[in-house]
Structure formats: structure tokens, C-alpha cells
Structure 1
């Protein structure tokens, strides 16, 4: 389910966070699904449990998951993600990518078509 690149310069906990976010966005992990326990995931991935704990804490801080004491970690409903800061960050990144795309010659209508193609993939998004 989760593969990490130990050769990458990106820290393992960030790779783990990205993988979980990807699974949530692609609706492999649905809201209120329980995440693997830290101990189990550490054994599966053969990484330090503290690394997983750090990823889970950051995901919880960012609003992607929530913890029920004694029960584990669960996927948070999409609306509970801290929108304001995250939205600003995503908008800034998107502006940079779009500016670069237009600079290298991708036409606006092609970008629009790509956005239209992506929209139906995400439930609850504006069309």
C-alpha cells in the first residue's frame, strides 16, 4: 500500500504524509477509516515508530486525520482540513505552476481542458 524512497532527499515522515494524503485524495482512504497503528506500520515499512508518530502528528495538526485516545487514528472529513492557510499555499503553488506552463507554451485553453478533466475526479469540488 505504501512505498517509501529511502534514497530520496525528502524526509521519510514527509513521504509518508504525502502517501496518506494521496490515498485520501484518491478516496482509497475514506473519512473515518482507521489508519494502521504506528507499531504495525513501523513493522511493515521497517522504519522507526517515531517517524510514523511524527507524520501522524503533522497530519493531525493539518486536519487530515483525528485521534481517538485508545482507539487509533482516523481519516478526518475533508471539510475539517484547515482551509485558510492550506488554500493560500495551494493557490500560490498553482499560480507558479500555471505561470511556468504558459511560459513554456501551454495554451490557456489546454490548461482549462486539463482542469475540466481533473474536476470530476474529486467529489464535492466545484465544476
Structure 2
């Protein structure tokens, strides 16, 4: 279910957050669908339950999931609200880092645009 890279510089909990957000974007996780418990997920992923718990808390903070006490965690409806100024600033900063990294790797604008288009197509192909 999850594809974690234990050799990545990105912390495991951030990888879990990204994986779940991607599954939501692709429509693999539907609104109000129940997620596996922290314990179940930690067994599936072979990671510490605290790591999964930290990821779930971050997803909840971002509004991606919600938790019902005694029932578990569920996928939230995707918001139709415009992103906040803070969210856009964070996005811009992440995009800037990505473009700088692409330039460092000598990936030109056209190749980067092609990769972006491919990823969007993969998201749309799952829905």
C-alpha cells in the first residue's frame, strides 16, 4: 500500500503524509473512507507506531483526515476553499526548492514541465 524509502533524506512520517495525500489525489482513498489504525499501519509498513501516529496527526492538522474518538481516522472531503496565504507561501517555497534542485541536476524547463504533465496524468488516470 505504501512505498516508503528508508534511505531517503525525507523523514518516514513525511513520506507517509505524502503517500496518503497522493492516494487521496488519485482517488484511491475516498472521502470518509476509514484508514487502517496506527497499529495496523505500523505493522504493514514495518515502522514504529509513533511515526505513523505523527503522520496521522500532521494529516489531521492539514485537514486531510479526521479522527472520531473510538472509531478511527477517516479521509476528509476535499476542501473547495481557496488555499490560505500561509499555504500558498509554503507551496511557493517548496516549488522554489524543487526548481533549484532541477536546475542543479541540469533538468531544463521543458523536461521539468514534461515530468509535471506526466504526474498530473497519473493522478487523473487513477480517478
Q: TM-score, normalised by structure 2?
A: 0.72
The residue that corresponds to 1:64 in the other structure is 64
The residue that corresponds to 1:22 in the other structure is 22
CA offsets 1:25-75 (integer angstroms, 9 cap, x no match) = 111101111111111111111111000000000110011110000000011
> Unmatched 5+ residue regions in structure 1?
123-127
RMSD (Å), alpha carbons: 3.2
Return the alpha-carbon distance in structure 2 between the equivalents of residues 58 and 12 of structure 1.
12
SS in 2 for 1:66: strand
Higher RCO structure (Cα 8 Å, ≥6 apart): 2
Any conservation in 2 of the 1:64–1:75 contact (CA below 8 Å)? yes
Map residues 67-82 of structure 1 onto 2, 5 A cutoff: 67-79=67-79
Return the alpha-carbon distance in structure 2 between the equivalents of residues 18 and 93 of structure 1.
13
The structure whose Rg is larger is 1
Map residues 1-127 of structure 1 onto 2, 5 A cutoff: 1-79=1-79, 83-84=83-84, 85-94=86-95, 106=109, 118=120, 121=124
Q: How many residues align?
A: 117
The residue that corresponds to 1:125 in the other structure is none
Any conservation in 2 of the 1:64–1:81 contact (CA below 8 Å)? no
Return the alpha-carbon distance in structure 2 between the equivalents of residues 14 and 71 of structure 1.
24
